[in-house]
């Protein structure tokens, strides 16, 4: 049912190396991501997957290499710039504002779209009010999309873990991203929750045409929903291709998969 | 807007749903008819808007070939557009067939085939997927209209059509043929079948109950009359559309009175939506009311000391005079003042949390509803009443009138309905709300009605001296004692289970001289009771053998006997002997079904030695029974049970 054809390369990571003192987190990593595809990054813990995402996101500055997004090349990314360009992410350990309600958390994702200054907003004057309504409408569409209407006004801290992850995803979607970086979105979920999350991820791709880069440990999920897979091990790339190609790769099997899947 | 209807809107003699709709559109065009939450905001549709939508839907359906006598399938959660689709079908002389949205694809196949459904409205992708799954078994289904476009972009099945497109087609059709709609509405009669509701078949296939406009509107109007329902009222439509009750409330009563139907956002948001809407008229099955009461009790146990004391005190006040105030019975000034104070401190906020602040009248129906439940809600000012009926009678047979709410009856016959008790204590009904027939099942229809036109409900009941109906049991479970008097075991068992100390009870007496009972005590309740009296016990079996516990249970049964003696119809059904079982009846031992209904026959044979001891006049009996432990191992439990006598009372003067 894929009606969004996978397009050209939208994100290109070239020869990225990242060091923390003596530890080589990433060594000469290169791969690309095509538009509208789901690209999985897999590998054992400590392989450098989150570090890779952090480089793309602008959290870490790599010592070498460059990242291209839609033809523009950067030696290092700036977080704010990255967000403005249309790359959003979720976090492995969530980074939600636990005391705020679900709807407020998702509204923070609209931050870059809101222009009025703090005074106008505080007094809810004309333009600020209109902006609030317009952004609220967008957020409501996302709430409807992820089926969390029942929890709109509840403090995020009170929600079960699976729902918090959905709110995290909702906040990322509120940025109307072109590329979505998902850091272990299924961690800590049971089978049913994972199925729901998979469904939402696929719906996001179908509905909004978002390109998705996904770090995930559940091999079933990875093999099922990703179009192409990158395998990292000890900061090095040891596999790159379709799920079937990667599955049969001996080095990948030895390092990570264990037995042939 | 639309042209003035040439439709005869004489609603007294020949009412139909579409004519009622047009009359509301004329009399109160701006009054809210339907509400639905969209993007977190309640959107209101007035009667004029609703009528316009129905016209457009009808135009769309007509352009696609929907005509008189055809059936329209409806599958989804409660949505205004689905109710309006039903009205559109009615306008064109068609019949609505709502299906259960939770049904699996195979369950839906039977209904789609039996009702020969060619056109259907499905709420969303989930329902559409189910329909497409069984498509090859339902070749007649050529048109599927869906309401929610989410996820539907990649579907290219020719049968599918988005509702907005259908509305557009309808507008064009109506422009080309402006008189078509009104002409079709004029051709409808109240004797036409308006809806086919399939009853879940416990024996064999589900049967399609055909209800006409007349029977449904009659039932709707009757209920509106009893509770003075008006356009100012407001209900929550959250119960399945395939259930007769929802059709009665959200369709028949809505169109009879003109009140507003509010559809919640989703199943999970029903309680929050209820607080936002504050309906004035509400229905829920007993377990919903029980669940709310339980949640209140639990929350109160967590509350601080002062709040708890305040709650307990004012609930005591409510128990004394609350329902009397509601019934309009005399209450002293002092009590009134206390109650008013309680209203500010406790009952008002409580009703608010439950979403019941605006409720003028609340109904429930179904299995044995504990008097405690009634007492609780009525005492805090919620006018909870009961009603009784079946799918075959539009859920309209008996109803509680205001001020005449008895906890153990289902009320007096509703306007337009008469009841009679037939053979085997079966309740027979005749009147305005009778079904037309079972769809394509002449045999079953003939069996259901007798020569005088009474419908056989299959329930056993008695009419007490106030004229109220009491439902005892399913007719087939009722038998007689040796002296020929009626014996309904479940009725007595339910009465016993109202005592918190009794967890389960099995009553014997069919064909015998006297009635006896096995009792399972409730470990928590009785354990608590024992601890407070410093009675030591070493476990369930030990507790059951304790003479003080036997006395406690005897007291309960004696009280029940006394109550029964006041009832002229069942006064003879008092328990004379009982024993406390040493082990709890358990589904794992096949003594109860998985839904915790007693398998009386099995229990009687398994515990045969006990039964013979009771009727043999013995005072105690040793018994050893097989049990299956939770891990599957089998074992034996044995005890010597004492048989106790209970005083019975002379049946009171009527």
Q: Is residue B93 part of a domain?
A: yes
Handedness of CA B595, B598, B599, B605 (dihedral sign): positive
Average pLDDT over residues A195-202: 90
Q: Are A233 and A249 in contact (CB under 8 A)?
A: no
Q: Which residues of B touch A207 (CB under 8 A)?
A: 150-151, 153
Whether residue A54 is found in the same domain as residue A110: no
Angle CA A177–A183–A184, to nearest 5: 130
The reply to whether residue A3 touches residue B154, judged by beta carbons under 8 angstroms, is yes
How far apart are the two ends of chain A, measured CA to CA in Å? 25
Residues of chain B with pLDDT under 70: 1-12, 200-204, 367-368, 568-569, 594-596, 630-631, 652-654
CA distance B410 to B404: 11
Whether residue A136 is found in the same domain as residue A193: no
Q: What's the domain count of chain A?
A: 2
The reply to whether residue A149 touches residue B154, judged by beta carbons under 8 angstroms, is no
The CATH number of whichever domain residue A31 belongs to comes to: 3.40.50.300
CB nearest A3 (choices: B37, B153, B266):
B153
Task: Return the structure tokens found at B396.
Answer: 């309209």
Q: Is residue B11 part of a domain?
A: no
End residue of a domain, out of A138, A161, A176: A176
CB nearest A137 (choices: B39, B265, B268):
B39
Q: Which domain holds residue A70?
A: 1-86+177-261
Q: What's the domain count of chain B?
A: 3
Would the pLDDT of A226 be above 90? yes
Whether residue B470 is found in the same domain as residue B502: no
What is the per-residue pLDDT for A39? 94
Q: Which of B271, B272, B273 to mutate to probe the A interface, most A CBs <10 Å?
A: B272
What is the per-residue pLDDT for B2? 44
Interface size between A and B, measured as CB pairs under 8 A? 31
Whether residue B471 is found in the same domain as residue B491: no
Please indicate if any CB of chain A lies within 8 Å of the CB of B43: no
Whether residue A81 is found in the same domain as residue A186: yes
Handedness of CA A243, A249, A254, A259 (dihedral sign): positive
Whether residue A116 is found in the same domain as residue A5: no
The reply to whether residue A144 touches residue B39, judged by beta carbons under 8 angstroms, is yes
Please indicate if any CB of chain A lies within 8 Å of the CB of B156: no
End residue of a domain, out of A122, A143, A176: A176
- In chain B, the residue whose alpha carbon lies closest to the alpha carbon of A152 is B40
The reply to whether residue A207 touches residue B151, judged by beta carbons under 8 angstroms, is yes
The CATH number of whichever domain residue B318 belongs to comes to: 3.40.50.12780
How many Å lie between the alpha carbon of A5 and the closest alpha carbon of chain B?
13
Q: Which residues of B touch A150 (CB under 8 A)?
A: 265-266, 268-269, 272
The reply to whether residue B39 touches residue A147, judged by beta carbons under 8 angstroms, is no
Q: Is residue A39 part of a domain?
A: yes
CB nearest B154 (choices: A149, A150, A206):
A206
Phi and psi (nearest 5°) for A219? Answer: -65, -35
Please indicate if any CB of chain A lies within 8 Å of the CB of B40: yes
Closest of A175, A233, A227, A168 to residue A200, by C-alpha: A168
Whether residue B396 is found in the same domain as residue B504: no
Sheet with A228-233: list strands edge to edge: A87-89, A179-183, A211-215, A38-42, A228-233, A236-241
How many Å lie between the alpha carbon of A40 and the closest alpha carbon of chain B?
23
Please indicate if any CB of chain A lies within 8 Å of the CB of B30: no
CA distance B154 to A138: 23
CA distance A42 to A257: 10
Q: What stretches of B92-186 show up as alpha helix (H) in DSSP?
A: 105-114, 125-133, 163-176, 180-186
Q: Is residue A115 part of a domain?
A: yes
Whether residue B338 is found in the same domain as residue B367: yes
Whether residue B326 is found in the same domain as residue B223: no
How many Å lie between the alpha carbon of B374 and the closest alpha carbon of chain A?
29
Whether residue A39 is found in the same domain as residue A139: no
CB nearest B268 (choices: A136, A140, A150):
A150
Q: Is residue B72 part of a domain?
A: yes
End residue of a domain, out of B475, B509, B543: B475
Phi and psi (nearest 5°) for A180? Answer: -120, 120
What is the per-residue pLDDT for A2? 47
What is the per-residue pLDDT for B7? 52
Task: Return the structure tokens found at A246.
Answer: 């990667």
Q: Is residue B8 part of a domain?
A: no
Q: Which of A135, A137, A141, A150 to mutate to probe the B interface, most B CBs <10 Å?
A: A150
What is the per-residue pLDDT for A21? 87
Whether residue A101 is found in the same domain as residue A208: no
Would the pLDDT of A1 be above 60? no
Q: Which residues of B touch A145 (CB under 8 A)?
A: 150
How many Å lie between the alpha carbon of A3 and the closest alpha carbon of chain B?
7
Residues 6+ apart with CB under 8 A from B232: B259, B280
Residues 6+ apart with CB under 8 A from B104: B130
- In chain A, the residue whose alpha carbon lies closest to the alpha carbon of B154 is A1
CB-side neighbour CA atoms (13 Å) of B361: 21
Task: Return the structure tokens found at B372.
Answer: 């405690």
The reply to whether residue A140 touches residue B40, judged by beta carbons under 8 angstroms, is yes
- In chain A, the residue whose alpha carbon lies closest to the alpha carbon of B149 is A207
Measure Cα distances from B172 to A24, B7, B146, B164 in Å.
69, 21, 20, 13
Arithmetic mean of pLDDT over chain A = 89
Q: Is residue A91 part of a domain?
A: no
Q: Which of A5, A149, A203, A207 to mutate to probe the B interface, most B CBs <10 Å?
A: A149
Whether residue A106 is found in the same domain as residue A233: no
Whether residue B389 is found in the same domain as residue B334: yes
- Residue B330, classified by CB atoms within 10 Å of its CB into exposed (0-12), middle (13-18) or buried (19+), is exposed
How many Å lie between the alpha carbon of A64 and the closest alpha carbon of chain B?
43
DSSP B441-500: -HHHHHHHB-TTS-EEEEEEEEE-TTS-EEEEEEGGG-EE-TTS-EE-HHHHHHHHHTST
Q: Which domain holds residue B549?
A: 478-645
Whether residue A181 is found in the same domain as residue A260: yes
The CATH number of whichever domain residue B521 belongs to comes to: 3.30.300.30
Whether residue A136 is found in the same domain as residue A213: no
The pTM score is 0.80
Q: Which residues of B touch A206 (CB under 8 A)?
A: 151, 153-154
Give the other-Cβ count within 10 Å of B619's Cβ. Answer: 11
Q: Are B542 and B530 in contact (CB under 8 A)?
A: no
Q: What stretches of chain A show up as alpha helix (H) in DSSP?
A: 49-57, 79-85, 102-108, 118-123, 126-145, 161-173, 191-208, 219-225, 243-248, 250-252
Whether residue B417 is found in the same domain as residue B485: no
Q: Which residues of B touch A137 (CB under 8 A)?
A: 39
Would the pLDDT of A135 be above 90? yes
The reply to whether residue A149 touches residue B265, judged by beta carbons under 8 angstroms, is yes
Task: Return the structure tokens found at B97.
Answer: 């067939």
Whether residue B299 is found in the same domain as residue B180: no
Residues 6+ apart with CB under 8 A from A59: A79
How many Å lie between the alpha carbon of B156 and the closest alpha carbon of chain A?
10
Q: Which residue has better confidence, B242 or A115?
A: B242
Whether residue B505 is found in the same domain as residue B418: no
Whether residue A132 is found in the same domain as residue A102: yes
Measure Cα distances from B334 to B33, B315, B321, B347 in Å.
43, 16, 11, 18
End residue of a domain, out of A161, A176, A191: A176
Tell which B residues from 124 to 153 touch A, by Cβ distance under 8 Å: 150-151, 153
Whether residue A192 is found in the same domain as residue A224: yes
Phi and psi (nearest 5°) for A102? Answer: -60, -45
The reply to whether residue B39 touches residue A1, judged by beta carbons under 8 angstroms, is no
Whether residue B461 is found in the same domain as residue B496: no
Please indicate if any CB of chain A lies within 8 Å of the CB of B533: no
How many Å lie between the alpha carbon of A209 and the closest alpha carbon of chain B?
12
What is the per-residue pLDDT for B630? 67
Whether residue A149 is found in the same domain as residue A192: no
What is the per-residue pLDDT for A3? 56
What is the per-residue pLDDT for B122? 96
- State ipTM: 0.76
Q: Is residue B513 part of a domain?
A: yes
Whether residue B632 is found in the same domain as residue B580: yes
Q: Which residue has better confidence, B106 or A195?
A: A195
Task: Return the structure tokens found at A187.
Answer: 């961690």
How many Å lie between the alpha carbon of B594 and the closest alpha carbon of chain A?
25
Whether residue B306 is found in the same domain as residue B434: yes
Handedness of CA B563, B568, B570, B574 (dihedral sign): positive
Give the other-Cβ count within 10 Å of B481's Cβ. Answer: 17
End residue of a domain, out of B201, B233, B266: B266
Give the other-Cβ count within 10 Å of A130's Cβ. Answer: 11
């Amino acid at each position: 049912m894929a009606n969004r054809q996978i397009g050209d390369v939208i994100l290109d990571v070239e020869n990225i190396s990242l060091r923390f003192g003596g530890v080589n987190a990433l060594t000469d990593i290169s791969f690309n991501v095509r538009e509208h595809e789901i690209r999985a990054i897999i590998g054992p813990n400590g392989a450098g997957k989150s570090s890779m995402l952090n480089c793309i996101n602008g959290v870490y500055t790599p010592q070498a290499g460059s990242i291209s997004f839609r033809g523009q090349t950067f030696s290092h990314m700036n977080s704010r710039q990255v967000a403005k360009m249309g790359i959003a992410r979720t976090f492995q350990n969530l980074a939600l504002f636990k005391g705020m309600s679900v709807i407020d958390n998702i509204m923070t994702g609209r931050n870059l779209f809101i222009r009025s200054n703090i005074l106008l907003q505080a007094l809810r004057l004309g333009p600020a009010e209109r902006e609030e309504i317009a952004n609220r409408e967008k957020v409501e569409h996302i709430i409807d999309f992820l089926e969390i209407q029942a929890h709109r006004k509840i403090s995020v801290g009170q929600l079960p873990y699976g729902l918090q992850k959905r709110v995290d995803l909702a906040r990322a979607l509120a940025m109307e991203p072109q590329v979505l970086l998902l850091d272990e979105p299924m961690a800590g979920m049971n089978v049913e929750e994972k199925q729901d999350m998979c469904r939402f991820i696929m719906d996001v791709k179908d509905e909004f045409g978002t390109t998705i880069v996904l770090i995930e440990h559940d091999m079933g999920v990875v093999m099922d929903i990703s179009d192409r897979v990158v395998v990292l091990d000890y900061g090095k790339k040891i596999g790159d291709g379709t799920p079937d190609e990667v599955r049969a790769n001996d080095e990948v099997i030895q390092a990570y998969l264990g037995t042939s899947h | 807007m639309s042209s003035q209807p040439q439709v005869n809107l004489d609603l007294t003699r020949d009412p139909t749903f579409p004519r009622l709709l047009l009359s509301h559109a004329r009399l109160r065009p701006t009054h809210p008819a339907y509400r639905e939450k969209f993007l977190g905001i309640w959107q209101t549709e007035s009667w004029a808007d609703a009528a316009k939508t129905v016209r457009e839907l009808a135009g769309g359906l007509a352009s696609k070939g929907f005509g008189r006598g055809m059936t329209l399938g409806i599958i989804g959660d409660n949505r205004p557009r689905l109710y309006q689709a039903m009205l559109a079908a009615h306008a064109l002389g068609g019949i609505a067939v709502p299906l259960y949205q939770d049904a699996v694809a195979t369950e839906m196949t039977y209904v789609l085939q039996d009702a020969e459904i060619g056109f259907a409205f499905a709420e969303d992708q989930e329902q559409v997927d189910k329909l497409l799954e069984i498509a090859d078994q339902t070749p007649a289904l050529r048109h599927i209209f869906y309401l929610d476009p989410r996820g539907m972009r990649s579907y290219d099945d020719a049968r599918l059509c988005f509702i907005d497109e259908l509305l557009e087609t309808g507008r064009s059709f109506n422009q080309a043929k402006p008189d078509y709609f009104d002409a079709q509405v004029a051709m409808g009669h109240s004797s036409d079948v308006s809806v086919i509701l399939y009853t879940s078949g416990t024996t064999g296939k589900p049967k399609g109950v055909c209800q006409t406009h007349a029977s449904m509107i009659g039932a709707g109007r009757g209920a509106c009359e009893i509770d003075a329902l008006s356009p100012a009222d407001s209900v929550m439509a959250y119960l399945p559309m395939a259930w007769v009750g929802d059709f009665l409330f959200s369709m028949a009563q809505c169109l009879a009175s003109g009140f507003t139907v509010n559809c919640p956002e989703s199943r999970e948001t029903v309680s929050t939506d209820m607080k936002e809407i504050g309906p004035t008229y509400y229905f829920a099955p007993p377990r919903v009311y029980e669940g709310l009461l339980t949640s209140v009790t639990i929350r109160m146990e967590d509350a601080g000391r002062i709040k708890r004391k305040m709650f307990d005190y004012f609930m005591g006040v409510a128990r004394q005079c609350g329902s009397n105030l509601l019934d309009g019975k005399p209450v002293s000034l002092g009590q009134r003042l206390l109650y008013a104070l309680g209203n500010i401190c406790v009952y008002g906020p409580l009703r608010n949390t439950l979403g019941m602040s605006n409720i003028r009248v609340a109904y429930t129906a179904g299995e044995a509803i504990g008097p405690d439940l009634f007492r609780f809600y009525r005492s805090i000012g919620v006018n909870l009443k009961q009603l009784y009926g079946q799918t075959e009678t539009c859920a309209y047979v008996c109803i509680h009138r205001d001020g005449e709410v008895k906890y153990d009856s289902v009320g007096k016959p509703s306007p337009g309905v008469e009841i009679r008790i037939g053979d085997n204590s079966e309740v027979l009904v005749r009147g305005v709300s009778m079904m037309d027939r079972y769809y394509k099942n002449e045999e079953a229809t003939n069996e259901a009605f007798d020569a005088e036109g009474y419908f056989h409900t299959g329930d056993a009941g008695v009419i007490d001296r106030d004229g109220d109906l009491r439902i005892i049991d399913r007719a087939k479970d009722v038998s007689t004692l040796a002296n020929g008097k009626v014996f309904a075991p479940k009725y007595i068992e339910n009465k016993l289970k109202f005592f918190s100390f009794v967890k389960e009870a099995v009553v014997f007496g069919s064909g015998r001289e006297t009635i006896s009972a096995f009792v399972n005590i409730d470990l928590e309740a009785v354990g608590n009771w024992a601890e407070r009296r410093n009675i030591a016990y070493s476990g369930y079996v030990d507790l059951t053998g304790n003479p003080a516990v036997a006395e406690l249970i005897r007291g309960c049964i004696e009280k029940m006997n006394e109550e029964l003696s006041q009832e002229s119809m069942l006064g003879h059904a008092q328990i004379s002997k009982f024993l406390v079982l040493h082990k709890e009846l358990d589904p794992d031992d096949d003594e109860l079904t998985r839904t915790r209904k007693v398998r009386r026959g099995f229990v009687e044979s398994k515990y045969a030695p006990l039964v013979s001891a009771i009727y043999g006049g013995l005072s105690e009996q040793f018994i050893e029974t097989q049990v299956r432990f939770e891990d599957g191992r089998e074992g034996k439990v044995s005890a010597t049970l004492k048989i106790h006598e209970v005083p019975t009372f002379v049946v009171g003067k009527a």
